Amino acid sequence: MTDHLQNAIAAGRYVMIAGPTAAGKSALAMTLATRLDGVIINADSMQLYRDLRILTARPDAQDEARIPHRLYGVLDAAERASVARWLDLAAVAVTAARKTGKMPIIIGGTGMYLQAALDGIAVIPAVPDDIHTACIDELAQIGGSAFRVALARLDPVTAERLFDGDSQRLVRAMGVVRATGRPISAWQQDPHQGAFDGTALKIAVLPPREQIYQAINTRFANMMDSGAIAEVEALAARNLDPGLPVMKAIGVREVIAMQKGELDRAHAIEYASRDSRHYAKRQLTWLRNNYNANCSFDSQLSERNVEEIFSYLSLAP
C-alpha cells in the first residue's frame, strides 16, 4: 500500500471532506488520516481562531497528538480571517504535507474555503479601513434588511444571494463597491487563481437531517458543561470589536447574554442550537448546489467504503 500511496501523493492527489456541522467529519478525517498517513488541514473559518476551542468543536489534544493537524487555532480573535488568507495558509500546509510524503486531507464546512481550494479566487482589491468602518457603522445603525436594500442598488447580484443577517459578507460587498466603483460580483467573474495543484477526492458526509439536528442539540449542551462558558467569558473580557468574525461564532452571543442575566441556561442552549441547525441547513444547501462529491457517506466508514476511497485515489494494488 505504501508505494501506491506515495504514487498518489506524487501525482497530486488529496482528500477533501465536506459536510454540515455535527455530521461526523472529524471522525472520518481521523480514520482516513490513520489509513492514508495523512495530515488534517482545517477548512472551517471559526476553527482558525485559538480563543474558542470548545465552542467551535476543534479537535482535542489527544487527536492532535495522534495525527498531525494544521490551521487549527492559528489566528487571534482580534484578527479577521478571509478566504484569501486561508487559501494562502492552506496552500503552504498542503505543500508541506506532500514534501513529507503525507496525504493532505482538507476538512471543513466553510463552503467558500472549499470552493477556493478547488477553483481558486478572483483577486479583489483590499477595502480601506475608513470605508470598511463606515460600512460597519451604517449596518449597525440601519440594520441588515435596510443595508441589504442599499447594497442592492449598487450590487443587486450579491444582495440577492445574501441574507439580512450575513453582516460580514454584506459589509464586505458594500465596502468593495464603494472603494472600487465595481461590484464584488463583477470582480468575482475575473480569472481565478490560487487553486490547489492536483486532483481532489471530494467526500461528503451526509447523515440524515434529523440525526444531524439531534447531534447539534446534544453537542451544544455538552459544550456548556465542558468549558465553553469560561472560553466565552475570557473572550468577552477582551472587549473586542463586536463586528469581528469570532464574536459572531454560534453560541457567543447566547453565553454572553446568559452571563449578563438576560437568558437562562436552557434558553441559551435552545437558541444556540437553533442557530446551529439553521447553519447546518445552509451548509446542506451549499453542498447540494456546489459540491459534486465523488462519494458520500451517511454513517461510519465500513471497509468497503475505505476500499472505495482507495480506488478513487488510485491506491488499489
Query: How do residues 145-184 score in pLDDT, each as one tens digit?
Result: 999 999 999 999 999 999 998 888 999 999 999 999 999 9
The Cα 175–Cα 151 span in angstroms is 10
Task: Report DSSP state, residue 39.
Answer: E
pLDDT of the residue at 22: 93
Whether 128 is in a domain gets the answer yes
Nearest to 281 by CA among 222, 190, 209: 209
The Cα 82–Cα 32 span in angstroms is 28
The residue out of 187, 216, 238 marking a domain boundary is: 187
Whether 86 is in a domain gets the answer yes
Whether 286 is in a domain gets the answer yes
Q: Could you tell me if 88 and 196 lie in one domain?
A: yes
Domains contained in the chain, number:
2
Give the bridge partners for 193, in sequence order. Answer: 121
The whole domain housing 264 covers 2-121+192-312
Number of DSSP helices (H) and strands (E) in the chain, helices first: 14, 8
pLDDT of the residue at 242: 87
Terminal Cα distance for the chain, rounded:
7
Q: Could you tell me if 143 and 198 lie in one domain?
A: no
Note whether 121 and 87 are within 8 A (CB). yes
How are beta strands 192-193 and 121-122 bridged, if at all?
antiparallel
C-beta neighbour count of 51 within 10 angstroms: 21
Whether 283 is in a domain gets the answer yes
The residue out of 141, 171, 187 marking a domain boundary is: 187
Whether 229 is in a domain gets the answer yes
Q: Could you tell me if 254 and 160 lie in one domain?
A: no
Using the predicted structure, report yes or no on whether residue 139 has a pLDDT greater than 60.
Answer: yes
Q: Could you tell me if 198 and 87 lie in one domain?
A: yes
Q: Could you tell me if 63 and 150 lie in one domain?
A: no
CATH code of 214's domain: 3.40.50.300
Whether 317 is in a domain gets the answer no
The residue out of 187, 214, 239 marking a domain boundary is: 187
pLDDT of the residue at 297: 84
Read off the pLDDT band of 317 (50, 70, 90): very low
Cell of 114: 472549499
Note whether 21 and 284 are within 8 A (CB). no
pLDDT (mean) for 226-247: 94
Q: Could you tell me if 172 and 255 lie in one domain?
A: no
Q: Could you tell me if 18 and 111 lie in one domain?
A: yes
Instruction: Measure Cα distances from 168 to 79, 81, 146, 150, 216 in Å.
Output: 13, 11, 15, 15, 24
Q: Could you tell me if 234 and 166 lie in one domain?
A: no
pTM to 2 decimals?
0.88
Read off the pLDDT band of 301 (50, 70, 90): low
CATH code of 144's domain: 1.10.20.140
Query: How do residues 63-116 score in pLDDT, each as one tens digit?
Result: 999 999 999 999 999 998 999 999 999 999 999 999 999 999 999 999 999 999
Q: Could you tell me if 202 and 148 lie in one domain?
A: no
